Homo-oligomer: A and B are copies of this chain.
Amino acid sequence: MADREVAALAKLRDYYRKHQLIPSYAGLGDMLGLSKQGAVKLAGRLLLRGWLKRGPGGRLVPGGAFFERPLVGAAAAGFASPAEELMGDAITIDEYLVEHPSSTVLVEVRGDSMINAGIHDGDMLVVERCSSVNSGKIVVAIVDGDFTIKYLQRDRHGYYLQPANDQFSIIRPQGSLEIYGEVVGQFRKLR
């Protein structure tokens, strides 16, 4: 049975949460009451299932399925064990929203000019810094020294900034248009 794998995965999750690190084969063996070689074989099975993968130097690192929480879908009927639903890992949302950590910043929204795009006053935006953005994307641009959030559009006259609110008008930059970055995600507190 795959009983042992499940138990091992549970202990690995606890270990990883505590140390942000998958133990070595020897450590894994100690943790599970196995010999080092038993741990090697067992880890091989976890690798096949995508729970673990190999990192630099042959070290074990968490695989794609390692952090997966039973995502409670809207159509989900059974949610039997509350213990398994727990979102213990604090990294998940961050990884979901941020692809390139070193070039990503957070910007707080002021104003309602993008309200029809679902961006409200007070929301937080995940912004990836880059100077060139494809048209049609939501961007953070710099107009008169201030940040502004708009759709970047282009027509035969060049690029312009389009709000998602009828009460605001299109901005056509005189001269060059300075792009701060592209909006790749958003989040807000509801409480």
Contacts and interface: CB of A to CB of B under 8 A. Distances in A.
Could you say how many copies of this chain the assembly holds? 2
B72 A14 contact: no
Contacts of A105: 69-72, 85-87
Nearest to A23: B56
A106 interface: yes
B55 A20 contact: yes
B55 A21 contact: yes
Interface size, A (range): 35 or more
Interface of A: 10-11, 13-14, 16-17, 19-21, 23-24, 27, 55-57, 59, 61-62, 67, 69-79, 82, 85-88, 90-111, 118, 120, 124, 126-127, 129, 137-138, 145-149, 180, 182-191
Nearest to A62: B20
Interface of A is mostly: mixed
Contacts of A14: 100-102
